[in-house]
Amino acid sequence: MTKNNTYSKQEKLKSRKALEQLFAKGKSFSVFPIKVFYTVSDQLVGDVIDNPEIKINETGLVQAGVGVSSRIFKKAHDRNKVKRLLREVYRTQKQPLYTSVASNQQQLNVFFLYIGKELPVFADLQIAMEKTLEKLIRKISEPTPNVQQL
């Protein structure tokens, strides 16, 4: 078994502060049935020194989290099953994302929220996650325009 397809503790997005910042200031998009919230920051040592609130992840690259609405899935075992499926699908398809983030010298926090109304099938979720990760890679790779309008 290769170590590339693990989902270790350092890769999990669990910090309350990071999650609050992600939902408050992060960007989002949807590829049904997955909604993605993400924040990207450059891994610049100067920024970390100047601002002590910015911390580089122990992995230095990506931290990810998954969630399911309790309004849609009332039973905890259904929510847990969907979260397990989301984690597994992300774990098996995360390599292109890691490569992109590493080549751009960025740090990424990402949260995948399942917004479908029915329990997903693994194969369908795999296809959706593949499309989602492709779109995420495109969004984090494009340069940010300087917003200076009159």
The domain locations on the chain are 15-140
What gap in Å lies between CA 140 and CA 135, rounded to an integer? Answer: 9
pLDDT digits (tens, 9 = 90+) for 15-65: 999 999 999 999 999 999 999 999 998 865 444 444 545 444 444 589 999
Query: What's the fold here for domain 15-140?
Result: Ribosomal Protein S5; domain 2 (3.30.230)
What gap in Å lies between CA 53 and CA 95, rounded to an integer? Answer: 28
Q: Which of 71-85, 94-108, 118-132, 136-150 has the lowest mean pLDDT?
A: 136-150
DSSP one-letter code for 21 = H
**Among candidate residues 91, 102, 93, 90, the one with its CA nearest the CA of residue 141:** 102
